[in-house]
Amino acid sequence: MQKFIALYLTVTGIGAAIALLLPSLVLFGLYLLVIPGLVLGSAPTAFLWGCIFTAFWLAAKSQFGPTGTTALIAIALTVLTVYAVTEPFRVAGGSLYRESLLPDVTPSSRIAVTGDIRIDLPAPRWDNANPRERGKQRGFSCDNLCLALLFTPGVKSVTINRSIRTIDAPRSKRVGEFDPEARTYWLVPKAQCEDRGLRPDLEGRIGLFPSSLDEGRVLNERWKSDLYDEFCLRRSAPLGRHDLLIRHHRDGAATRRNGKWSLTPRVLETEGIEIQGSAGEVLLRRLKVSVAIPSRLLAISFEGGSSDFQSGWSRSVLTNKPGSEALDLLQELEQHTNTQGR
């Protein structure tokens, strides 16, 4: 048994050293050879468990000798150890996850989009369609969503802003500060225009809720025609009030990969879509919460792409909405508001 343990630790130790020092070889093996990549990738965990087993084997051997009972005791204590080490951190991650959940809110009827609308987005598009005013920033553009809202009957203005980045965003009823690039847009009848006005940014997407690319292109052209023939587009500094807030936020993703050798839960990631009234009442909510916690058994895994493939403690993800495309702002607007997207 002792010779087998020594051989096992030697083989897995060499494999673990290669995998941890040259993780690109693991990636290469997974891409081209599959099985060698899996074997090399599992070597660090196999070596770790082997070291824990050896420590318990030697301790039990001094009491029971090199018997089958000694081996069974060492195996049982090894399983218990790799489970017990991660369990407190899994419990902490589960508590963090449950405390961050909020129920979805679905309106009983379509939300009437009227008055002054504010849209907070994680990454609004820059205004590259119009010349920058001397000494001023570009500002966020009026894209397809902005224009669709402006053409919705009853809408007076649309303010485009960047959503706040805070882990408390889902629970916060406060409205974040305006980004320096935030802008308010509105339509002016052609008779009141002294020039052709601003050009909308229709390059980011085709239409808004098109059932086909052709329908989307037709909608884009119709919007352009309406602007040039009937209206002109104006903008100003952000309006300090709103009748309706449409907010899409993502938080935590920037620090997602930190602490690869820490057993503590990774930074909580949230993504949410909310529509709030002027008093902060929630009319619609969709919230995705995710947190990576250690796997049930202490293990070493590899993750990342070709440029950042690396090792760390193996983790599993707690989430209330599996899938990377769980939330879709345009889909929610199409289903639950009267936004003129077609």
Q: How confident is the model at residue 182 (pLDDT cuts 50, 70, 90)?
A: very high
Most confident of 92-101, 159-168, 214-223: 92-101
How far apart (Å, rounded) are the C-alpha atoms in residues 74 and 52?
9
Length of the chain: 342
Q: Where are the alpha helices (DSSP H) in 101-212?
A: 144-150
* Residue 16 in this model has a pLDDT that exceeds 50: yes
Q: What share of the chain is helix, strand, coil (3-state, %, to 5)?
A: 40, 25, 40
The whole-number pLDDT of residue 254 equals 43
* Residue 174 in this model has a pLDDT that exceeds 60: no
Residue 60 near residue 70, CB atoms below 8 Å: yes
Give the closest residue to 168 by CA, choosing from 99, 103, 118.
Answer: 99
Residue 56 near residue 74, CB atoms below 8 Å: yes
- Residue 140: is it exposed, middle or buried by C-beta count within 10 angstroms (0-12/13-18/19+)? buried
Q: Check the CA dihedral 22-24-26-29 and report its sign.
A: negative
Phi, psi of 30 (to 5 degrees): -70, -40
Mean pLDDT of all residues in 34-51:
84
Q: Where are the alpha helices (DSSP H) in the chain?
A: 2-21, 23-28, 35-64, 68-100, 144-150, 213-230, 329-336
Match 């023939």 to its residue by tokens.
229
Residue 188 DSSP one-character state: E
Higher pLDDT residue, 3 or 290?
290
* pLDDT tens-place string over residues 258-298: 468 888 887 788 889 999 998 889 999 999 999 999 999 99
- Residue 19: is it exposed, middle or buried by C-beta count within 10 angstroms (0-12/13-18/19+)? buried
* Residue 327 in this model has a pLDDT that exceeds 50: yes
3 state DSSP class of 111: strand
The residues pairing with 111 across neighbouring beta strands, listed in sequence order, are 337
Please state, for a pLDDT cut of 90, what percent of the chain lies above it.
36
pTM: 0.78
| Backbone conformation region of residue 271, classed left if phi is above 0, alpha if psi is from -120 to 50, else beta | beta
* Residue 307 in this model has a pLDDT that exceeds 70: no
How far apart (Å, rounded) are the C-alpha atoms in residues 319 and 322?
6
How far apart (Å, rounded) are the C-alpha atoms in residues 28 and 33?
8
The whole-number pLDDT of residue 256 equals 45
Match 């119009």 to its residue by tokens.
130
Residue 243 DSSP one-character state: S
| Pairing of the two strands 282-294 and 183-189 | unpaired
Structure token pair of residue 265: 């839960």
3 state DSSP class of 37: helix
Would you give the distance in Å from CA 284 to the centre of its chain?
Answer: 19
Structure token pair of residue 145: 């969503």
